[in-house]
Chains A and B, each alone.
Chain A
Amino acid sequence: MEEIKDQAYFKELAHRLMFDLSDEEALDIVKEFKTLCSQLELLEAIDTTGVEPMVYPFEAPTVYLRDDEEEHVISQEEALSNAQKVVQGHFSVPKVVK
């Protein structure tokens, strides 16, 4: 189990994700995280030696492949309906590369 993370750690993490946390919010998260970690410790106590990790709820593979004939397309208007800013049919977003 990793070491317990502090307020500064979560503030830094939030900052990297482009938002900020107040001291209180960060403290809340630290507390919640501690609880979570102690719960995980319970799980870690289970001996899983020799057990293959399972990825999907079913063991049997499926066979479905979509035919290349099927088509579903929406209009440009619909496609852009959630855009904050539209320029000549394009989504316009702040530039993040130099």
Chain B
Amino acid sequence: MKYDVVIGIEIHCELKTKHKMFSAGPAAFGQRANTCVNEIDLGHPGTLPSVNKQAVRYAIMASTALNMSIDRLVRFDRKNYYYTDLPKGFQITQQFHPIGSNGYLDIETEDGIKRIRIERLHMEEDTAKQFHLDTQTLIDFNRSGTSLVEIVSLPDMSSGKEAAAYVSKLREILFYLGVSDVKMEEGSMRCDINISLKPEGSEKYGTKVEIKNLNSISNVQKAVDFEIERQSKIYDENGRVAQETRRFDEATQTTVSMRMKEASVDYKYFPEPNIFPILLDSEWVKKIQENLPELPDQRRTRYMNEYGLGSYDANVLISNKELSDFYEEVCKVAKDGKIAANWCISELSGALAKRSETLSSMKLSADHLGALINMILDKEISGKQAKEVFEDVLEGKDPKEVAAAKGMKQVSDTSAILALINQVLDENPQSIADFKNGKSRAVGFLVGQVMKKSKGQANPAMTNQLLTEELKKR
């Protein structure tokens, strides 16, 4: 039987604030256990939370980029539950009045652009990290209280591919905004997926299953695809899909059950009494909204209009912000944006991959690459010579100096090339005869002779053209 699929995604994203959401404790990753904490993060009695201004700014930026409306009256609520990762016994969140609501983002699918609606974006605090050993649990409170936003989509997706496209697009936007480092593998961006099926044409959806532990975008797609197949099979055999939380298992590339959800937990939400409602200054909000960094979609359009790139090249650059930023620097010098893009995408990326390096670990300067591209455009050196020079440019050397030291230059002076051509023609009467008899291969041989005489410095395209003209004259 065929089934309709509905998928909704919740994303938790750690904000790049220096300190925590409700305390002045430092926010850090990978530090020694329990060294980035204070009394508030440890939930000591008598402590009071205060709201991090930068976290609110980031939440406004993200909400704006996701086309949401902003609630200027910031209110927080308590989500009560008792567990060792949260020593206060409750998490401060925005259950009733999220700062951002009713937004969307557009993803590219095979059938064109699809709009995914986003219900809400709210601020909250992260929990402590726990290590469950055989007989005990170890707790590190460094992460406790870290500023987070949760972004909740409506169930507008219907395949693994769409789910992956949504997560990838959202990740790209948050990264370009600079509000989070969105590292799925390190957990600074975490993704929970809700998925349910119904027979095609039927009204009622089946049981909703939640999938956790998705630490990469490709795993999002794999997990959803697996889950669609698993649930379809159960329904095909007239079985019942259990209401449960599953996790993606990297080793088997499947989803496995984590826990059953018998009934929904009652968190006894109520307004947080320790934080009074905060009214944001409308000018401040407006200023944040008007000064958003360039978003990936805007940059994509600009690359296509300003530099004449195709959508494929533009996408390749945009998907790697470091490369894309570098490309813009190259374009400040290089006279042709399209050729600069080719160099960044093929030569440069290839060289980096080959050396297992990143741009920041290399001495290469954007100005030098721009200058090198101009040397090709100005016919100072040939494309082949440029590739040789590029090896040294990667090490931080100036292309002009490298070309000069190697004695490279390209002769593009018509009279100089003509002189060489006539010399070669005079020495090879047999080749002229061959050409007249229709043997076009003779041209290749003669060009080769000219190149040899010029020590490889004659412009090959010009040589070819001039030689053919000269041959016809003889």
What residues of A have a CB within 8 angstroms of the CB of B280 in the complex? 63
List residues 42-75 of chain A with CB under 8 A from any CB of chain B. Answer: 55-56, 58, 61-75
Q: Is the CB of A66 within 8 A of B34?
A: no
**A76 touches which of B24, B34, B135 (Cβ 8 Å):** B34
| B contact patch SS | loop
Residue of A whose beta carbon sits closest to that of B135: A95
- Asked whether any CB of chain B lies closer than 8 Å to the CB of A15, the reply is no
Instruction: State A78–B33 Cα separation when bound (angstroms).
Output: 13
What is A's interface to B at a CB cutoff of 8 Å? Answer: 55-56, 58, 61-76, 79-80, 85, 87-97
23 contacts between A and B (CB under 8 A): A56-B276, A62-B276, A62-B279, A64-B51, A65-B53, A68-B55, A69-B18, A71-B24, A73-B24, A73-B25, A73-B35, A74-B38, A76-B34, A79-B34, A80-B34, A87-B136, A87-B138, A91-B34, A91-B138, A92-B136, A92-B138, A93-B137, A95-B136
Nearest chain B CB to A42's CB is how many angstroms away? Answer: 23
Residue of B whose beta carbon sits closest to that of A53: B271
- Asked whether any CB of chain A lies closer than 8 Å to the CB of B29, the reply is no
What residues of B have a CB within 8 angstroms of the CB of A73 in the complex? 24-26, 35-38
| A contact patch SS | loop
**B24 touches which of A72, A80, A96 (Cβ 8 Å):** A72
Q: Is the CB of B25 within 8 A of A92?
A: no
Contacts A56-B277, A71-B19 given; indicate if A89 touches B34 (C-beta within 8 A).
Answer: yes
What residues of A have a CB within 8 angstroms of the CB of B56 in the complex? 65
What residues of B have a CB within 8 angstroms of the CB of A92 in the complex? 136-139
What residues of A have a CB within 8 angstroms of the CB of B37 in the complex? 73-74, 79
Instruction: State A95–B132 Cα separation when bound (angstroms).
Output: 7
Nearest chain A CB to B206's CB is how many angstroms away? Answer: 27
Q: Is the CB of B32 within 8 A of A64?
A: no
The contact string, 1 if C-beta is below 8 Å from chain A, for chain B 18-54, is: 1100011110000011111111001000000011111
What residues of A have a CB within 8 angstroms of the CB of B52 in the complex? 65-66, 68
The contact string, 1 if C-beta is below 8 Å from chain A, for chain B 133-174, is: 111111111000000000000000000000000000000000
What residues of B have a CB within 8 angstroms of the CB of A87 in the complex? 136, 138
Closest 7 CB pairs of A and B: A90-B138, A65-B53, A68-B54, A61-B279, A89-B33, A72-B24, A91-B139
Instruction: State A96–B138 Cα separation when bound (angstroms).
Output: 11
What residues of A have a CB within 8 angstroms of the CB of B132 in the complex? 95, 97
- Asked whether any CB of chain A lies closer than 8 Å to the CB of B239, the reply is no
Residue of A whose beta carbon sits closest to that of B41: A79
What residues of A have a CB within 8 angstroms of the CB of B273 in the complex? 55-56
Nearest chain A CB to B15's CB is how many angstroms away? Answer: 10
Instruction: State A90–B281 Cα separation when bound (angstroms).
Output: 42
Instruction: State A68–B53 Cα separation when bound (angstroms).
Output: 6
What residues of B have a CB within 8 angstroms of the CB of A63 in the complex? 278-281
Q: Is the CB of A93 within 8 A of B139?
A: yes
Instruction: State A6–B236 Cα separation when bound (angstroms).
Output: 49
Total of A-B residue pairs, C-beta within 8 Å: 117
Instruction: State A37–B7 Cα separation when bound (angstroms).
Output: 46
Instruction: State A65–B74 Cα separation when bound (angstroms).
Output: 11
Q: Is the CB of B271 within 8 A of A55?
A: yes
Nearest chain B CB to A61's CB is how many angstroms away? Answer: 4
What residues of A have a CB within 8 angstroms of the CB of B138 in the complex? 87-88, 90-92
Taking A67-B54, A85-B136, A93-B84 as known contacts, 14 extra A-B pairs with beta carbons closer than 8 A to each other, sorted by chain A number, are A55-B271, A61-B276, A64-B50, A65-B52, A66-B24, A68-B18, A71-B19, A73-B25, A73-B36, A89-B32, A89-B34, A94-B137, A95-B132, A95-B133
Nearest chain B CB to A89's CB is how many angstroms away? Answer: 4
**A79 touches which of B26, B42, B137 (Cβ 8 Å):** B42
Instruction: State A85–B139 Cα separation when bound (angstroms).
Output: 11
Residue of A whose beta carbon sits closest to that of B22: A66
Q: Is the CB of B276 within 8 A of A90?
A: no
Q: Is the CB of A58 within 8 A of B17?
A: no
Residue of A whose beta carbon sits closest to that of B83: A96
What residues of B have a CB within 8 angstroms of the CB of A76 in the complex? 32-35
Instruction: State A66–B54 Cα separation when bound (angstroms).
Output: 8
What residues of A have a CB within 8 angstroms of the CB of B33 in the complex? 76, 88-90
Residue among A69, A73, A92 having the largest count of chain B Cβ atoms under 10 Å: A73
Q: Is the CB of A96 within 8 A of B137?
A: yes
Nearest chain B CB to A76's CB is how many angstroms away? Answer: 5
Nearest chain A CB to B45's CB is how many angstroms away? Answer: 11
Residue of A whose beta carbon sits closest to that of B134: A95
What residues of B have a CB within 8 angstroms of the CB of A55 in the complex? 271, 273
- Asked whether any CB of chain A lies closer than 8 Å to the CB of B73, the reply is yes
Nearest chain B CB to A8's CB is how many angstroms away? Answer: 22
Instruction: State A64–B19 Cα separation when bound (angstroms).
Output: 16
